[in-house]
Amino acid sequence: MLDRQTLVLNRSWRPITTTTVRRAIVLMARGVAGAVHPATFEVAAWETWIEVGSRAIGSLRGIGFDFPVPEVIVLTGYNGMPDAPVSFTRRNVYRRDGFACVYCGHAPRSAELTLDHVVPRSRGGPTDWRNCVTACVRCNARKADRTPSQADMRMRRQPTMPRWPGGLDPGQLAERPVWHRFMPANTPGLAK
């Protein structure tokens, strides 16, 4: 439970990152953050949260205490927006492309997805956000060592570097509906 993620908002209630429950509790105990009640969206300081906090995702229990785990915290003094770039990984490319092939639109199991270089590496194509896309095994084999135009294949969308708030993994959003209210409307992973 202590390693579960908690959404962190700045003073203006904009998502800036996620942190572990362990770190969220430390921030609350130090008085630099308050827990956001998932039903009322009221901010509760440490003492109030212990008394009236929600047990929506569980609580930490010990001898003489029952501490509700916060799903969302808001910082009391920080109002910045860190420019945390999204890590370039195979899984994040899949997430950016919605776990679907950019050529045919098919969304197979993750094991049947591949990372395709738009400009093949053999032709000097870099391995980065603007040159890598998600492709199904069939389309990747069809494209082979050619560019999409040479293979007579059209991409459904052009590859770009994603701008997820604070580098937040949009895959976590499906399991955390309380977070949806705080996300920008164009965040990948939100139900449309």
Q: What is the pTM of this model?
A: 0.60
Q: Which CATH number fits the domain that encloses residue 118?
A: 1.10.30.50
**The total number of structural domains that make up the chain:** 2
Is 155 among the domain residues? no
Per-residue confidence (pLDDT) for residue 166, from 0 to 100: 59
Is 114 among the domain residues? yes
User: Are residue 94 and residue 79 in the same domain, yes or no?
Assistant: no
User: Are residue 70 and residue 15 in the same domain, yes or no?
Assistant: yes
Is 55 among the domain residues? yes
User: Are residue 23 and residue 56 in the same domain, yes or no?
Assistant: yes
Q: What is the dihedral of CA 46, 52, 53, 55, to 10 degrees?
A: 150
- pLDDT, tens digit, for every residue of 8-49? 999 998 888 888 888 998 999 899 999 998 778 888 888 787
- pLDDT, tens digit, for every residue of 68-125? 888 899 999 887 777 667 788 898 899 889 899 999 999 999 899 999 999 999 999 9
Residues with Cβ within 8 Å of residue 135, at least 6 apart in sequence: 101, 102, 103, 113, 114, 115, 116, 143
Domain of 133, in residue numbers: 90-143
- Average pLDDT of the segment spanning 121-144: 96
Is 172 among the domain residues? yes
